Amino acid sequence: MSNTVKNRVIGVDIRMDHTTIAVVDQRGNILATDSFMTIDYQDVNNFMTVLSERIVTIAENNGGFENIRSVGISAPSSNYLSGCIENAANMPWKGVIPLAAMLRDRIGLAVALGNDAHITALGEHVYGAAHGMQNFVIVSFGHGGLGSCIYSNGLPYLGTSGSAGEMGHTCVESGGRQCGCGRQGCLETYVTDRGIVQTAKEMMAASAQPSMMRSLETLTSVAIAQCCEQGDELALEVFRKTGDYLGLGLANVASVLDPEAIILADLPDEVFKCLIEPTRAAFDKYVFRNIKDKVRLVVAGLNNNERDVLGAAALAWTVQEYSLFK
């Protein structure tokens, strides 16, 4: 029986375009990072080979592989309960991929897998804005959609089949915009980058009002937010409407869950600044009165580059230790 404690974990953040690997110690210090392009590997087996090589290399260069306790992975459409990526809409690998088991076989350490919203929440709970909170909701705007993760009584609530938190697909407008999921009027068709751009286009088409947005080459939510900062009326109206939808969606979740805070993550700073006031106003209008003024709407505490590797590292600490080499 060994008397030493392994004092490091590996956090892996797999995104559509690139993958980041970090060595993290017990206090959340990121000791080293490495990254490579996810999209270079159409075959998941090749991806796994590269990932495990990189993990071993970075571990050896930073205190040795024998000090690594476990590995945590953040990936879109992942199911913590099964350890698989399940039918990811935006990844090159189709079907159900048992990513955690594949990596464990290759590196001989315990591996835990979580989806991006779950990982974001873990990261914020352990190291960020949600530190010390028992009941809160993280709303994540990353990966082009709108995901969320609910903390109930101090633990993440994943739902009976692991798919809780699909806030982006709650209906805010009956018969509204067509969503990729097949339904109409889903919240995410209005409040994500793509939704904000569509709102801007619709507003420009509906009026002849002059606006700086008209001279933009490519419309993005950040560009629209920059127009707002210069006082562009139509751009402000775009965010007012977006905030109204977001406030309604958040208010309904808050009425049901009575959280301490709702934390908005992965939102560009410019967009957050323009969106927060109309969102707050709509939230107060729609939320149940008992809860009004009791729920904080805050921006995530960790920066967008670090949060997910830190969250993945936090997940790694929660999994039971296992090693082929003990």
Partner 1 sequence: MTSDYEFIGDFVAVLSEHIMRLAEEHGGYESIRSVGISVSSGNFKTGCIENAPNLPWKGVVPLAAMLRDQLGLAVALANNAYVMALGEQAYGAAHGMRDFILVSLGSGMGSCICCNGVAHLGSNGFAGEIGHTCVNPNGRECGCGKRGCLETYTAARGIVQTAVELMAESSEPSLMRQVEQLTPAIITQLCEQGDALAIETYRRVGYMLGVGLANYASVLNPEAFVFAGQVSKAGNWLLEPACESFEQHVFHNLQGKVKLVLSTIDDEVRNVLGASVLAWEVKEYSLFK
Please report how close the Cβ of residue 143 comes to partner 1 at its closest, in angstroms: 16
Cβ distance to partner 1 smaller for residue 19 or 77: 77
Among 143, 169, 240, 307, binds partner 1 (CB under 8 A): 169
For partner 1, give the closer residue by CB, 10 or 112. Answer: 112
Q: How far apart are CA 30 and CA 39, in angstroms?
A: 25
Find the shortest distance in angstroms from Cβ 256 to partner 1. Answer: 6
Query: In this structure, what is the dihedral angle of CA atoms 232, 238, 242, 245, given to the nearest 10 degrees?
Result: 130
Q: Are 213 and 234 in contact (CB under 8 A)?
A: yes
- For residue 66, the SS3 value is helix
- Which residue in 171, 203, 222, 281 binds partner 1 (CB under 8 A)? 171
Q: Which is nearer to partner 1, 248 or 309 (CB)?
A: 248
Report the b/e string of 36-69 with b at 16+ CB within 10 A.
eebeebeebeebbebbbebbeebbeebbebebbb
Convert residues 182-201 into a mask of x (bound to partner 1 by CB under 8 A) and - (unbound).
xx------------------
Among 76, 259, 278, 311, binds partner 1 (CB under 8 A): 259
| Positions 269 through 288 that interact with partner 1 (CB under 8 A) | 285-286, 288
Strand-pairing partners, residue 33, are: 22
Q: Is 255 in the site for partner 1 (CB under 8 A)?
A: yes
Instruction: State in angstroms the smallest separation of the CB of 54 from partner 1.
Output: 32
Beta-carbon contacts of residue 5 (< 8 Å; ≥ 6 apart): none
Report CA dihedral (229, 246, 283, 125) to the nearest 10 degrees. -90
Of 25, 28, 54, 166, the one binding partner 1 (CB under 8 A) is 166
Q: Are 69 and 316 in contact (CB under 8 A)?
A: yes
| Residue 94: φ, ψ to 5° | -95, 165
Nearer to partner 1, 225 or 295 (CB): 295
- Neighbouring CB atoms inside 10 A of 304's CB total 15
Using CB under 8 A, list all residues that contact partner 1. Answer: 133-136, 148, 150, 152-153, 155, 157-167, 169-171, 174, 181-183, 248, 251-253, 255-260, 285-286, 288-291, 294
